[in-house]
Amino acid sequence: MRIHSLQHVPFEDIGSMAEDFRRRGYSLTTSHWYSGDAAPAVTDFDALIVMGGPMGIYDEAIYPWLAAEKILIKNAIDAGKIVLGICLGAQLIADVLGGKVTRNAHKEIGWWPVTVQPTAQDHPIARILARYPEVFHWHGDTFALPPGALLLASSEACLNQAFSYGDRVYGFQFHLETTPDSAAALIENCGDDIDGSTYTQTAASLTASSERFAAINRAMSEVIAVIFGGELPAS
């Protein structure tokens, strides 16, 4: 399988997913928008991963590549490609599917649980989240659920945390791919977001436990198996 990722800033890549794809033998390419990369053709990939970033999805005047990115995401969905959006990426997918993106009532930064929606409890992604309810968050915006999408999970601070649109398009407001190194990079580059508000945890607490990262990365591996398929080789 040919995986293509869209990266918005140098410090937010696909994290633990890279090793999962490598072990499955999938190819991986990336558009680094911040470096001026051009958009790929939809025929160049089988699956698209849209990553996070500190910008807002309506900031085309500052980041003009956002307009091209939205067109690419819409074309990929229309072409039946697998599309996964994480954080900003989920907001971009929601937007192109008709779900408005706004400021959330709270910043949500740190380790907070998500709760599976009763109407989605039999969905394979929801079953994974039910086993790994504590996930990593770093966001201030939120998306409205797009028409036709299924809400999979919510948190106390943010109603719309994960959705599926059919069986090939997914949006996660939270992060399962974050590693200790990528969390440290977020703190270094976006640490001003940690303002002591109700749902923001301290920088020290974010990286205090390697076991937390190992758990969400295991969850990410299970999610990859559902969304992207492919068996991992025996260890």
* Nearest residue to 176 via CA among 8, 11, 20: 20
CB 57 within 8 A of CB 101: yes
Provide the phi-psi class of 116: left if phi over 0, else alpha when psi is between -120 and 50, else beta: beta
Q: DSSP string covering 202-225, please? A: -HHHHTS-HHHHHHHHHHHHHHHH
Return the ∠ at Cα 53 (arms to 189 and 174), rounded to 5°: 105
C-alpha distances out from residue 131 to 127, 134, 138, 163, Å: 7, 9, 21, 17
Please identify every residue annotated as catalytic: 87, 175, 177
Residues 182, 12: contact at Cβ < 8 Å? yes
Whether 49 contacts 15, CB under 8 Å: no
